[in-house]
A and B are shown apart, each in its own frame.
Chain A
Amino acid sequence: MLVMRWQLAYPEEAVPVVGKLLGDGGILLPEIYNSLGAMHGTIMIFLGIVPLAVGAFGNYFVPLQIGAPDMAFPKLNMASYWSYFVGGVIMLTSFFSPEGAARSGWTSYPPLADIEVGQTFWLIGMLFLITSSLLGSINFITTIIQLRAPGLTWMRLPFFVWSQFVTAFLLVLAFPPLEAAAVLQLMDRVAGTSFFLPSGLVVSGELLNVSGGGSPLLWQHLFWFLAHPEVYVLILPAMGIVAEVIANNSRKPLWGYKSMVYSVIFLGFMSFIVWAHHMFITGMGSTMSAFFQLTTMIISIPSVIILSAFFISLWGSSIRFNTPMLFALAFLPMFGIGGLTGLPLGLAAADIHLHDTYYVIGHFHYIVAPGTIFGLFAGIYYWYPKITGRKLSEKLGKLHFWPSLIFMNLIFMPMLIQGLAGVSRRLWDGGLQYAHASGVLQWNEFMSVSAWLLGLSQIPFIINVLYSIKNGEKVDNNPWESTTLEWTAPSPPLPHVNFEVIPEVHRDPYEYSVPGRKRDYTPQTEPKKG
């Protein structure tokens, strides 16, 4: 990504150091730039966020938070991991394959993706990654339904578990159509079919020797049927983490827990019927676009309810501004900006102007970068003591947080500006060749410098994680004085077993500052008197 940003900042100069490896006299060739773009999206989503948010945080903390000895199907879990590993290896080694890595966008639209190099590796890699998610999601749903500790009713679940539960449903039901579509695209590439190739397609001046009769739109429908729920997969676990951190560090129960639960369930359901808002400009008729516009507007409501509940939870609270809380608090306005910028995209008329521009990139990066990734950082700072038995340094944490927040905004806000001016995405020279971009091109260098500085801002974090393993402040079971079940296990948990004795749950998840009690928190396991 940083290499790409160099190219965008200085499109007619050679990229230093790596340029010679990648480019034509150092300048990234369009093909290379496009590969980096397609793989950046693919890797971040399928090898980065989903494995981290669901595979790592989910697998580690869902069983602990529900008082379970393990996930329901340990061997299936292992299969899910190794499938991810193989998929990841395939994706990463594709850079070194003779054809190079995929370069048709992470969205892999045919006809280009059907005939462009590098795509076969991508498709095979995706089959493994999708399988991994499917196996994992089956595990999560079964675990949460079947292995809750005695007394842990549905409305006593920590919000993190609810968010992982809905996420797992999205994965198990939405991913298979993409698996089907990937098989179809693979057939187009290796078996001579024309699932997505229309008749009369001309490539490089020659008529393509296939039967034709296919439709690029079919791919788009099948792809986005997954990819829309996928974006909720990307945000929900992080929202769950933010819920935990806010409740704990505001020393108050989450406001509107019930509404949040119903909202997240409703959100999950709605996410299946909004997908064609990614396809407004495909020549869709007005009935269809009205339908998808309507569902898209409706789906913003549960997100707003959840975000509002978070904000209201802070009212009258005693906020502890430790590092996890800083990240969780920053999530709120950042996700707010991300969500609000989605509204013009969901309205078909405005989307005609904004589709495939930098505005879209700004919108979704606001959600996943200072949104999800900040949520994940909050999770790391919050749960590191549980995993390692030591706290991360607060000093280094703040040194990580503040620059990150600033530079995130400096990178992605200008994208919204560029997009409004009409600068398209996926341009290897950042819009240099287009007259309409000339007024906003100066932002490219600004964004690139901010990106490199954002990269540097992660150094305190890396140092912190490595240093604190041996030198961090040692902690007991419950350093944050939290109510949820994972804090009743030792830090770190005993090897091979989550709990020596399965806990019994007697209380709601966030009994903080209940009037009349001695401590400002009451763990879920504490029995009620009388």
Chain B
Amino acid sequence: MSEHSMNDIKSHVKVYMIVFAVLAVLTMVTVAASYLNLSTGEAIFLALTIASIKGSLVASYFMHLISEKALITWILMLTAVFFFILMFIPMTSFIDQSRLG
């Protein structure tokens, strides 16, 4: 952090503006995509993909995750694993139940 020179910061600012533009564009893309005639599964996949790209941009550049120390990234990867477990297992248990509901 203390190693950031003025030029460093100025180049970061450029990046922030580019990311902002990309996020705005992707927002419009995701809305437009919702009007396409896709199956539910395809729509979910597309929406989540675009959202993940947007989220990664925010995390990597606004939150500086791309240049962050390894420890932080490890903690987040661990969290991501548990997040997906939380997301998927109730869903699969739902499908696997001997009777629904």
Contacts and interface: CB of A to CB of B under 8 A. Distances in A.
Let me know if chains A and B touch directly in the complex, using CB atoms closer than 8 Å. yes
A463 interface: no
Interface in A279-313: 282-288
A225 interface: yes
Contacts of A218: 90
Contacts of B90: 217-218, 221-222
A107 interface: no
Contacts of A283: 97-99
Contact of B86 (A177, A198, A217): A177
Contact of A284 (B85, B86, B93, B101): B93
A276 B89 contact: yes
Interface string B8-20: 0000000000000
Interface in A138-188: 145, 173-174, 177
A357 B94 CA distance: 26
Contacts of B31: none
Interface string A204-238: 00000000000101100110010000000000000
B96 interface: yes
A272 interface: yes
A437 interface: no
A273 interface: yes
Contacts of B85: 272-273
Which residue, B85, B86, B101, has most C-beta atoms of chain A within 10 A?
A: B86
Contacts of A282: 97
A173 B98 contact: no
B82 A198 contact: no
Nearest to B83: A173
Interface residues of B, number: 16
Nearest to B90: A221
Which residue, A198, A215, A283, has most C-beta atoms of chain B within 10 A?
A: A283
B92 interface: yes
B79 interface: yes
B96 A288 contact: yes
A497 B66 CA distance: 38
Contacts of A284: 93, 96-98
B71 interface: yes
Given A145-B71, A198-B101, A215-B101, A285 B93 contact: yes
Nearest to B92: A288
A272 B79 CA distance: 11
A276 B101 contact: no
B71 A173 contact: no
B93 A221 contact: yes
Given A285-B96, A285-B97, 12 more contacts: A145-B71, A173-B79, A173-B82, A174-B82, A198-B101, A221-B89, A272-B85, A276-B89, A283-B97, A286-B96, A288-B89, A288-B96
8 contacts: A217-B93, A222-B90, A272-B85, A273-B89, A283-B97, A284-B93, A287-B96, A288-B89
Closest 10 CB pairs of A and B: A285-B96, A221-B90, A288-B96, A288-B93, A287-B96, A283-B98, A283-B97, A272-B82, A173-B82, A285-B97
Interface of A: 145, 173-174, 177, 198, 215, 217-218, 221-222, 225, 272-273, 276, 282-288
